């Protein structure tokens, strides 16, 4: 009987539908509760600072490396394409636009989802399975305020700064390839970068970054907080945090681009 139910495709679809509805509901209430705790005292400013350092400062090398290679390869590839119809002068602008609007926020977001989202899920998940979250409650400390809020705010605040760094280093990567490999004039390259870059290109990227930072931290915290079943549960939480964080980054990248630039 049980086996039949498992093999019945309608039952399978129904079960998947119901379970996705209940996960969506759980995530919704988790998000609402987290946000209400973000605006209600007490605040743990020391923990917020720790998280800003953890997410921001320690992600700088990985975000910088991603930025410089993205900028370099972008200059090389666009040179291949644009030289076919003698439009090399557009390369600096294409590099700047692509980096600030898309590659800076998306690549930094994906790298941070891997580095920070995973760490958050593993840490909070371990705290859950070793009863440390229960211990927080018995010590009259709200786990949302102590664990979740500092991470969400730190994600929201630091990712725009990281993306700004990725933007600058990415454009520099394009400049290095342009000037030293493709024989651009250094001044002309920079002029071409600045002349066509509009504030909105950079701002849209930074808004994306703030949203990505919040979403990555939210996924890390949510999956960690709801993990169960020992080491295996924590492993699954970590995987889910990274995968869902990365997917949300890509989905919201499209949504925000559409909101900013579709006419």
Partner 1 sequence: MNETHAPEGQSAAKISCRGVTKAFGSKRVLTGVDLDVNVGESMVIIGGSGTGKSVTIKCILGLIRHDTGSIKIDGQEVNSLNTREREEINRKFGMLFQGGALFDSLPVWENVAFGLLHARKVPRRRARDMAVEKLAMVGLGPDVGRLSPAELSGGMQKRVALARAIATEPEIIFFDEPTTGLDPIMADVINNLIVEITRKLGATALSITHDMASVRKIADKVAMIYGGKIIWSGSIKEIDRSGNPYVEQFIHGRADGPIQMQVRRL
Binding site for partner 1 (CB under 8 A): 123, 127, 130-132, 134-135, 137-142, 146
In the complex, what is the shortest distance from the CB of residue 258 to partner 1, in angstroms, rounded to a whole number? 38
Tokens 């995973």, residue? 118
Give 80 or 140: the residue with its C-beta nearer to partner 1: 140
Give 77 or 142: the residue with its C-beta nearer to partner 1: 142
Q: Going by C-beta distance under 8 Å and a sequence separation of 6 or more, which residues neighbour residue 103?
A: 70, 74, 170
In the complex, what is the shortest distance from the CB of residue 12 to partner 1, in angstroms, rounded to a whole number? 20
In the complex, what is the shortest distance from the CB of residue 44 to partner 1, in angstroms, rounded to a whole number? 8
Query: SS3 sequence, the chain?
Result: CHHHHHHCHHHHHHHHHHHHHHHHHHHHHHHHHHHHHHHCCCCCHHHHHHHHHHHCHHHHHHHHHHHHHHHHHHHHHHHHHHHHHCCHHHHHHHHHHHHHHHHHHHHHHHHHHHHHHHHHHHHHHHHHHCCHHHHHHHCCCCHHHHHHHHHHHHHHHHHHHHHHHHHHHHHHHHHHHHHHCCCCCHHHHHHHHHHHCCHHHHHHHHHHHHHHHHHHHHHHHHHHHCCCCHHHHHHHHHHHHHHHHHHHHHHHHHHHHHHHHCC
In the complex, what is the shortest distance from the CB of residue 40 to partner 1, in angstroms, rounded to a whole number? 10
Give 31 or 142: the residue with its C-beta nearer to partner 1: 142
In the complex, what is the shortest distance from the CB of residue 126 to partner 1, in angstroms, rounded to a whole number? 8
Give 6 or 40: the residue with its C-beta nearer to partner 1: 40
In the complex, what is the shortest distance from the CB of residue 34 to partner 1, in angstroms, rounded to a whole number? 14
Give 134 or 191: the residue with its C-beta nearer to partner 1: 134
Give 134 or 198: the residue with its C-beta nearer to partner 1: 134
């Amino acid at each position: 009987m049980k086996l039949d139910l498992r093999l019945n495709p309608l039952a399978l679809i129904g079960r998947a539908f119901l379970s996705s509805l209940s996960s969506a509901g759980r995530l919704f209430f988790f998000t609402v509760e987290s946000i209400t705790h973000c605006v209600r005292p007490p605040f743990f400013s020391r923990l917020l600072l720790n998280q800003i350092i953890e997410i921001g400062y320690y992600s700088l090398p990985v975000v910088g490396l991603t930025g410089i290679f993205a900028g370099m390869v972008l200059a090389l590839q666009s040179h291949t394409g644009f030289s076919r119809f003698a439009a090399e002068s557009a390369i600096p602008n294409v590099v700047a636009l692509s980096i600030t609007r898309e590659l800076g926020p998306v690549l930094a977001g994906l790298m941070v989802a891997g580095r920070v989202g995973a760490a958050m899920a593993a840490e909070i998940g371990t705290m859950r399975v070793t009863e440390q979250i229960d211990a927080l409650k018995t010590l009259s400390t709200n786990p949302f305020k102590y664990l979740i809020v500092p991470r969400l705010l730190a994600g929201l605040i630091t990712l725009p700064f990281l993306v700004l760094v990725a933007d600058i280093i990415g454009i520099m990567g394009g400049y290095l390839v342009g000037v030293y490999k493709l024989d651009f004039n250094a001044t002309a390259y920079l002029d071409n970068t600045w002349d066509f870059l509009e504030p909105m290109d950079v701002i849209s990227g930074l808004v994306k970054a703030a949203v990505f930072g919040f979403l990555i931290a939210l996924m890390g915290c949510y999956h960690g907080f709801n993990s169960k079943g020992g080491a295996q549960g924590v492993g699954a939480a970590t995987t889910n945090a990274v995968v869902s964080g990365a997917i949300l980054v890509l989905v919201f990248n499209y949504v925000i681009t559409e909101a900013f630039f579709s006419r």
